[in-house]
């Protein structure tokens, strides 16, 4: 089975840059999507196809995907960005949706 590995937590001060990684074998060859989940709420898509933002998502959010690591970057972090972030791919070999374990972003 295909595994996506995310660090459990990332902490950053307001105004700084948060980088959250998502590791997987040759993940650079897949389309990676990212979801933000705030407590008690359903996940919300914040990045798709590695680096495309859905409408309504601030330009502060950006993404990249090379080799074995995809990264979601949030610039000028705000208190409202504090949430859990999940990466997700479609694994064609098994026709499975795969989620990473999630990263909790804490804004200090």
DSSP for 38-75?
-TTS--EEEEBTTTBPPTTS-TTEEEEEETTEEEEEES
Single residue of 5, 19, 21, 90 touching another protein by CB under 8 A: 90
* Closest listed residue to residue 87, CA positions, set 65, 67, 107: 65
Single residue of 25, 94, 106, 108 touching another protein by CB under 8 A: 94
Evaluated on CA atoms 82, 14, 101, 29, the torsion sign reads: positive
Regarding 99 and contact with another protein (CB under 8 A), the answer is yes
Regarding 57 and contact with another protein (CB under 8 A), the answer is no
Question: Which one, 6 or 62, has the nearer CB to another protein?
Answer: 6
Q: Which residues bind another protein (CB under 8 A)?
A: 1, 31, 33, 35, 37, 41-45, 48-49, 54, 86, 88-90, 94-102
């Amino acid at each position: 089975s295909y595994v996506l590995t995310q660090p459990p937590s990332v902490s950053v001060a307001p105004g700084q840059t948060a980088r959250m990684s998502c590791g997987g074998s040759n993940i650079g060859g897949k389309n990676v999507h990212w979801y933000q989940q705030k407590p008690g709420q359903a996940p919300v898509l914040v990045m798709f196809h590695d680096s495309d933002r859905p409408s309504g998502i601030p330009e502060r959010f950006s993404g990249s995907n090379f080799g074995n690591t995809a990264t979601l970057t949030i610039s000028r972090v705000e208190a409202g960005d504090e949430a859990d972030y999940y990466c997700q791919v479609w694994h064609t070999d098994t026709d499975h949706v795969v989620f990473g374990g999630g990263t909790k972003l804490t804004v200090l």
